[in-house]
Structure 1
Amino acid sequence: MRPAFSLSLQTVVLLLLSVTVSPLRQNLSRRSLVAGSVFLPLVTSVASASAEISGTKYPVAKTEREWQYVLSGQQYNILRKGGTEPPYSSILESEKRLGTFVCAGCRNPLFESSAKFNSNTGWPSFATALEGVEVTSSNPAKQLLTGVELKCDKCGGHLGDVFGDGFLFPGTPAAKSGKRHCIDGYAMIFLPANGEAEVFGDLPGKKKELPKWLESPQITPRDG
């Protein structure tokens, strides 16, 4: 006998996406589908790529010793080793001026500031990318569930990941593009459109303030 109703895979996914597990605001991994305080149990956290990045197929190729010489330790860990920076650790996460974000390894243009939005994940996020960004897979299911690695198409440097969860960010450019390019700030340099000094992404970001109810109690010393 045929069941009274059946749910398509798309319907099941949409139902799961509507579930809110906790009302508390929290910092969530960029490799999860997030929207403020919403955590989607459909996706598990996936570790960053840790393999050494080969530059043989890219126009800009250097030996590892040369990369270590031209990059800071933090830039090298992200761009050449596929590492990931801590959330809110890059000054570029809060950058809001007009300008262009370029690769810290070869200065290849990657993102325009008009595509940047606040995702509340702790990493610089962009709705769209420039042609200088290489997407390692076009599989939409993979983008939605685990994210797809992004590289600089000029030097092969690891930049971050792209997710197909832009719809979770209403009122932002990502809601229109359907994509969230979650990028390590350490991998980039920001060039302001007004000609001001460039900003290296491996500079420390602004410390995120905790809600008053999470702050440590102040201890007042006793007189005498």
Structure 2
Amino acid sequence: MLSQAVEDYLKAIYTLHNGKPVTTSELSARLGVSSASVTNMMTRLAKMKLVTYAPYRGVALTAAGEKIALEIIRHHRLLETYLRDVLGYAWEQMHSEAEHLEHHISEEFEDRIDALLGYPTHDPHGDPIPTRDGTMEHTPADPLPACPHEQDLEVRRLLDTDHDMLHRIEALGLLPGTVFRILDADDELLVVHLDHDHISVPADVAAHIFAAPV
């Protein structure tokens, strides 16, 4: 059985990778640990054949490491969906609770909440939930400032790094699945048409909302 620390590292590497190796400094910032701790863990994970690691060149998951990372991500996103949709948790409570529970649930429990929720494909942020066999489909989306005007758009995903920002987005009614139109925009505000009303969206909020044409 893998430790929680190992699972956290594998999940972080998967989340940070963008077609290139992840650096120790990126992992250090993501996990809030020292660079020396990251280096020690990378050496350990490489010996376990869960990552490929070359000092000063970064780290990448092996097929075995990616499989574990996707399983933990599946746990996390199913738990967030359950905690929010069924138990009514707030954004910050939902995330911290899922961070703890993701390491401790059984596969049977995972399958049961998946069925209870109706086999959701996305979590409350709009992020895709990996399937049982470890596949995950990414839906293209752009931040609101880059989206076309005067066209029906659907909110696909929210950046989940700032809980206060998520509350602001929720107050505006721009959660994943919402259909709207951008009417006008400048450097400070976007004006959107939503539910027969015009809503002003500050530019800093808009940058956390990703949408795509319907």
TM-score (norm 2): 0.23
Point out which structure has higher relative CO (alpha carbons under 8 A, 6+ apart).
1
TM-score (norm 1): 0.22
- The structure that is helix-richer by fraction is 2
